Amino acid sequence: MGFPSLTRAALQQATRKNELIIETGKQIQKDFAEFGFTIHFSEQADIFYDELFHQMKFYVADLLANNMEQFMHFLYRIDVSEQQIAMYQNEMPDSHYDEVITELIIHRELKKVITRDYFRQQSKQNSNELT
């Protein structure tokens, strides 16, 4: 079993999996809470994107307008690079900067969940092979 694809298209497809969606929502809540931001998530997979996107975008736009230092720390904490931002800006030329950043954060959080799940599955598989 190979490492899962982490391309933008693969990430969009992965959001259809309920358990990954719920874990991603919880990860977003956790990371935003570290900065004092409250994200409400109903854990309904079918409205995940719309429900979280608008809340997240509000905080991203506020940080961009009012506290660039905290914004940069926020991006560092979530592990978003300038290179990733530039790539997403190229892929989303008609979107506002705060929308690009918000989309990138959602995908980055999903990558964390997918990667963690992958290694959790590998660990289970390895421990099953040992028994």
Query: According to the model, what pLDDT value does residue 4 have?
Result: 62
68: in domain: yes
Tell me if 19 is assigned to some domain. Answer: no
Convert the chain into a string of H (helix), E (strand) and C (coil): CCCCCCCHHHHHHHCCCHHHHHHHHHHHHHHHHCCCCCCCCCCCHHHHHHHHHHHHHHHHHHHHHHCHHHHHHHHHHHCCCHHHHHHHHHHCCCCCHHHHHHHHHHHHHHHHHHHHHHHHHHHHHHHHHHC
Kindly state whether residue 116 falls inside one of the protein's structural domains.
yes
Give pLDDT, residue 125.
Answer: 72
Cut 0.85: pTM above it: no
Q: What is the pLDDT of residue 123?
A: 79
Q: Is residue 11 part of a domain?
A: no
Domain for residue 2, yes or no?
A: no
76 part of a folded domain:
yes
Indicate whether 16 pLDDT > 90: no
Domain count, the chain: 1
Instruction: Flag whether 77 is in a domain.
Output: yes
**Which tops the pLDDT comparison, 53 or 14?**
53
Range of the domain at 115: 47-120
Tens of pLDDT, residues 95-109: 999 999 999 999 999
Assess if residue 5 is contained within a domain.
no
